[in-house]
Chain A
Amino acid sequence: MKLVKLQDTSTDAGCGFRVTGFISQLETRNKKHFQTIKNRTMKNSKYDGSFYLNPYLGGVILGTVLLLSFYISGRGLGASGAVKNTVAATVNAVAPQHVQNSAYYCQFAGGDKTPMNNWLIYEVLGVLAGAFISGIIFNRLKLKVEHSPKITSRRRLIFALAGGLVFGFGAQLARGCTSGAALSGMAVLSLGGYITMVAIFGTAFVVAWILRKNWI
């Protein structure tokens, strides 16, 4: 898709934003409509050109989603469980013998178990779809690596992978991640949920300070 970069001359000249060639065509044909799109994107624009929802509003919406999830499906939210089941299903497809011998894998896969027919798998598909729509609305659908200007994309990706590995390992030890153990756990006043939350954010606080040069 062709990208056109336009400069806003009327208000803040330094704050450029991207619109599609299609929108620029609209400009000539339908000025009023273009103006509304322009105003909307300008209002949410940040210095780096990315657009997000107000985090406090986002938090309230997330809480509502959690409540609705309990109400509609009778299950809390989760994320690492979907990855775990996908891994278990993959291992089962490649090496079923290993799954049978492993005390960990045989909880989720092998035999009559259907790890991919699981509520979390569908929930994560829904999360992807919802995130995609959010990306469309806030005009940030673009393949990019977000990182501090002081580090390279490669460094950011390596740290993201390393962090993800550690987190995935930890989530399995704790039997849940931020969504499954902390968020959903705290929502039902589970002590484990609170401990998980304190541990995740407490550790993050310390590690973030140690690795702060990657961001600031």
Chain B
Amino acid sequence: MKEELFVSGRNIPNIDPYLNIWHWQIPGYLFLGGLAAGILFFASFFTIMGKENKMEATVKKAPMIVPFVLMLGLFFLFLDLKHKLYFWQLYTTIRLESPMGWGSWVLMIITPISILWSASYMKEVFPKWDWKFKILNTIEAWLIKNRKIIAWPMAIYAVILGIYTGILLSAFNARPLWNTSILGPLFLVSGMSTAAAVIMLMSKDHKERKIMGRIDILLIIVELFFIIHLFMGFLAGSEAQINAANLFLGGKFTTPFFAFVVILGLIFPLIIEIFELKGFKVPIIVPAVLILLGGLIFRFLMVEAGQITRYLY
């Protein structure tokens, strides 16, 4: 049994010495938010580039799941609230210094955009679809005409949402593991990588899969670099941050982190995707599912470990 003596003026249950307030809902939402952000970014990016007919799964099919992904994520956030019936106060209380306030507004904007985007492609993805009311058909016609204009704010808000999933943690400077600005880009890249995996799973077009595979390879390499950079930063930091990093470099999170996130969730899919690009026959479901699982486990570990780390000694 490990015991630790500690003398402190602060002993607040569930906050000091260990934070114990964020459970499965938060990493679950961070995963879904990153996934949705990635899919919406790719959809708007290829629309802006004028490739919507060459990248059908990316622009048309994959965004169909995004409203559901976002709503599920929002539901997770709702479950996390202590006073659930007062959730609407996040929208009546404007506080620039509140990460949750920022997140609420980003979600408030991007969820309707994603619904409108999916609606504009409903008839193309489901040919038998009928909107029934004339007004809905008029709106649809307007949306179809203005897709490129919608794509711009969608791309920008997708990036904000992707970065926000990391910022939610890194805005919380009181925990050493989260006190690093690299979490924003890291979570964005990781979310985009999971999105590329979902698109590859949904796509039936070899050319499209190849393009997404290439993008994913790049994203995984960047993500690995960010992870190395994350620990470099910690190890060059204060004693509290070195301790935080040591949870992953020999401590209790080492095996799950390196086995399931770094090796099985990043390096192994990377190798498989490089083989596929070289022309070898690969069932795409394997790297895609591993990337998704790796992304999910990564968020669980970061949230769990971050709550354990502390400055207070």
Residues on A facing B (Cβ under 8 Å): 1, 18-23, 25-26, 33-34, 37, 117, 122, 125-126, 129, 132-133, 136-137, 139, 141
Contact = CB atoms under 8 A, between A and B. Distances in A.
Contact of A141 (B264, B268, B271, B283): B283
B281 A133 contact: no
A133 B271 contact: yes
B271 A1 contact: no
Nearest to A20: B281
Nearest to A140: B281
Contacts of A26: 279
A137 B282 contact: no
Contacts of B206: 21-22, 25
A136 B259 contact: no
A21 B281 CA distance: 9
Given A129-B268, A133-B275, A136-B272, A122 B281 contact: no
B275 A23 contact: no
Contacts of A37: 279-280
7 contacts: A1-B283, A23-B281, A26-B279, A117-B255, A132-B272, A132-B286, A137-B275
A142 to B, nearest CB: 9
Interface of B: 206, 210, 255, 259, 263-264, 268, 271-272, 275, 279-284, 286
Contacts of B272: 132-133, 136
B282 A136 contact: yes
A129 to B, nearest CB: 5
A45 B263 CA distance: 31
A122 B256 CA distance: 10
Majority secondary structure of chain B interface residues (helix, strand, loop or mixed): helix
B28 to A, nearest CB: 22
A1 B283 CA distance: 7
Instruction: Give the most central of B280, B282, B284: most A CB within 10 Å.
Output: B280
Contacts of A20: 281
Nearest to B268: A129
Nearest to B277: A22
A23 B282 contact: no
B51 to A, nearest CB: 19
Contacts of A133: 271-272, 275
A22 B205 CA distance: 10
A53 to B, nearest CB: 16
Given A33-B279, A132-B286, A137-B280, 11 more contacts: A1-B281, A1-B284, A20-B281, A37-B279, A37-B280, A117-B255, A126-B263, A129-B264, A133-B275, A136-B272, A136-B280
A91 B123 CA distance: 51
Contacts of A136: 272, 275, 280-282
Nearest to B275: A136
A69 to B, nearest CB: 16
A209 B283 CA distance: 38
A25 B271 CA distance: 22
Contact of A122 (B259, B275, B282, B286): B259
A56 to B, nearest CB: 25
A113 B210 CA distance: 45
A141 B279 contact: no
A23 B255 contact: no
A125 B259 contact: yes
B156 to A, nearest CB: 34
A163 B280 CA distance: 34
Nearest to B290: A129
Contacts of A125: 259, 264
Given A125-B259, A133-B275, A19 B264 contact: no
6 tightest A-B CB contacts, nearest first: A20-B281, A22-B206, A136-B280, A136-B275, A129-B268, A23-B279
Contacts of A129: 263-264, 268
A18 B280 CA distance: 11
Contacts of A25: 206
Contacts of B210: 22
A106 to B, nearest CB: 20
A135 B39 CA distance: 31
